[in-house]
Amino acid sequence: MRPANAPAGAVRQGSLRELNLALVLGRIAAADRPPSRADLAAATGLTRATVSAVVEDLLAGRLVSEADPAPRAGAGRPARGLVLADQGPAGLGLEINVDYLAVCVVDLAGQVRHRTVHRADLRPVDPADALAHLVELAGRARADAARQGLTLAGAALAVPGLVDDAGLVRLAPNLGWRDVPVPALLAAHAPLTEHVPGVPALVVDNEANLAALGELHSGSPGPASFLHISGEVGIGAGIVLDGALFRGVRGFSGEIGHLPVHPQGRPCRCGGRGCLEQYAGQEAIVAAAGLAQAELPADTATVRLAELAEAGDTAVLRALGDAGTALGVAVAGVVNLLDLDTVVLGGGYAPLAPWLCPPVLAEIAARVLTAAWSPVTVRPSTLGAEAAAVGAAGSVVRRIVARPGGWLARCG
Ligand SMILES: [Zn+2]
């Protein structure tokens, strides 16, 4: 907003500079190989002098650095390409799930520079205590980031539940959270990150949404539209359509875990019956495999299930087959509705994908009208089990790349 006493020309100058910074930085971020200043002038339509001035600002603000020059045949000094800086601002990603806490730091180029996963059953833990533990882990991540020359510029927190615009966790049924004011509880602690104008200190979002965004931006160009399913104790999905997350009217989309697969089936924590979670959630698989919780604690269940399946344990193989069939029924419904050709199995489903994919594909073949001539790919996530924390941190750095002016203003 323009201050009342500022001349209009100054505002236009400031806005133009902001736009040019974002334009050039965005080109550097999207380039296949480090572009030179001349490449950037050609790609953006800006003059070489403008590009040089913008690049100087980005170098001074530690947003980009000069790549080592590629050896070039013939005479002349090779032009130096520009890359996103590996020492500078970074994003802090946090996740609270039913059976673990995860913290990670992602740099501007999307590289994970710090990762901590603390396994614990968080259902009996008071939300304020769980958040206090997360703050402690975040403090260690911040110190580790500082040692690597990184400054945490903002944080995002993934939770397995419904989150409103103000960061209030309306309902996280598997954690037993209802109306938990996460930002207010975290405000009782020291700030997690530096203050950067234009970058929210903390964004709280649904873990399936953040994991889907992490997959979308995970490097190699993948499909612009896909369904990403996070299989934990609960099951959530992120729906990506044409390169953007589909959040629904109130931000509550993707509750695939509560699609009914047996309408008169088992009662669910949501109040409904026969929900997918009751047949393909982590606890349902463990129970179907005949493995008591005491024998197979929730915090190691996925890894153990994969080991037993690998070893040919018939009860585990049957349980995974049945879970995959239930998952396939729900997925086929989504594919019929949205006409998607890619389904990504993430979170705790990723290590179980070798056993879940075949029955999911069988249900798609049997139930999706277009499957015969338009095949659907079902594959594990490339981000591993902590996809939501990585996606959360990535959402912070993408915000800085899209609007670098706030970070540069902080640098003076
Ligand atoms: Zn349910």
How close is the Cα of 255 to the center of ligand 1, in Å? 9
For the whole model, what pTM was predicted? 0.86
CB distance 288 to 327 below 8 Å: no
* Average pLDDT along the chain: 90
Q: Report the percent of the chain where pLDDT is more than 70.
A: 92
Q: Is the torsion defined by CA of 172, 242, 198, 67 positive or negative?
A: positive
How close is the Cα of 235 to the center of ligand 1, in Å? 10
Cα separation values, 16 from 24, 200, 410, Å? 12, 23, 18
The confidence score (pLDDT) of residue 182 equals: 95
Q: Report the percent of the chain where pLDDT is more than 90.
A: 70
How close is the Cα of 224 to the center of ligand 1, in Å? 29
Token pair in block for residue 289: 């495999």
Q: SS3 of 43, please? A: helix
Q: Is the torsion defined by CA of 200, 202, 206, 209 positive or negative?
A: positive
Which of these, 353, 347, 356, lies nearest to 100 by C-alpha position?
347
Q: Is the pLDDT of residue 265 over 90?
A: yes
How close is the Cα of 260 to the center of ligand 1, in Å? 8
Q: Is the pLDDT of residue 3 over 80?
A: no
How close is the Cα of 307 to the center of ligand 1, in Å? 29
How close is the Cα of 267 to the center of ligand 1, in Å? 8
Task: Please state the rounded mean pLDDT for residues 217-231.
Answer: 85
How close is the Cα of 165 to the center of ligand 1, in Å? 23
Q: Which residues contact 134 (CB under 8 A, 6 or more apart)?
A: 94, 96, 101, 103, 157
- Compute the distance between CA of residue 381 and CA of residue 363 in angstroms, rounded to an integer: 20
The confidence score (pLDDT) of residue 4 equals: 42
How close is the Cα of 270 to the center of ligand 1, in Å? 4
The confidence score (pLDDT) of residue 129 equals: 96
CB distance 381 to 237 below 8 Å: no
Q: Is the pLDDT of residue 371 over 90?
A: no
How close is the Cα of 284 to the center of ligand 1, in Å? 13
How close is the Cα of 271 to the center of ligand 1, in Å? 6
Q: How many helices (H) and strands (E) does the chain have?
A: 13, 15
